[in-house]
Chain A
Amino acid sequence: MNVLVRVRVAVLERTIASGQVPTAGEIAAELDLPVPMVQEAYARLGEAHVFVCEPGDPSRLRMANPFSAVATPFKVTARGGTYYGNCVWDSLGIVSLLGGEGLVETSCPDCSEAMRLRVEGGKLVESEGVVHFGVPARRWWDDIVFT
């Protein structure tokens, strides 16, 4: 496996195991690689729109998609762990990545009423509301945090 693949897989596996998106230092220690090499991998994965880098900090990711490195209004419970998704798409992506069993808890951005999406056995068994995309697909990565 090349370095980018090793780093991508290690970041996701560590996030799944710990609930926290790892720093470049943590991945460097795990893979026995120099920290600058992992920082470079983070940058290249960001440029490739696989992950999203934390501006001004080469050792951190803002998003290890589908996971968010920071708390968001999308809380995901799956496979015994608790995570944050970047949006409703990514939150359900976490549920899929973790085997298709899980719960997404969020709230309506208008009225703040709690909303839940539950997946069991790979099927959406509890859902409510509608999903709104405010930005056309071609412009998603112009400002991915806003998107």
Chain B
Amino acid sequence: MLLFRSEEHVERAGKTRGAFMTTEQIWRLADTWYHDRDDPAWRRRSADEAEAVFAELGLGGEFWRLT
């Protein structure tokens, strides 16, 4: 998961086109994903739970499927 200046820069870098996300979406994802990682009560999300997090951020479709 890399940060590029724009979608054009991804193409110029010769990367296979995958999926794009805004910086606001990645911040919200990171915050949801990691804010409690050092809590003893933390547990890894199931695939269904992870997909629900993606869906809340508007990330749907085959690319974001884990199940």
Contact = CB atoms under 8 A, between A and B. Distances in A.
Contacts of A129: 3-6, 23
Interface residues of A, number: 48
A130 B6 contact: yes
- Choose among B5, B16, B64 the residue with the greatest number of A CB atoms under 10 Å from its CB: B5
Given A128-B23, A132-B1, A132-B4, A48 B44 contact: yes
Interface residues of B, number: 42
Interface of A: 1, 5, 8-9, 12-13, 16, 48-50, 65-66, 87-97, 100, 106, 108-111, 113, 115, 117, 119, 122, 124, 127-138, 147
A5 to B, nearest CB: 5
B27 A130 contact: no
A110 B64 contact: no
Q: What secondary structure prevails in chain A residues at the interface with B?
A: mixed
Nearest to B51: A137
Contact of B37 (A12, A130, A133, A137): A12
A22 to B, nearest CB: 14
Given A49-B44, A93-B34, A110-B13, A132 B24 contact: no
A97 B35 contact: yes
A93 B54 contact: no
Contact of A111 (B5, B16, B26, B37): B5
Contact of B38 (A16, A89, A90, A135): A16
Contact of A50 (B12, B16, B33, B44): B44
Nearest to B9: A110
Interface string B1-36: 111111101101101101111111111011101110
A88 B15 contact: no
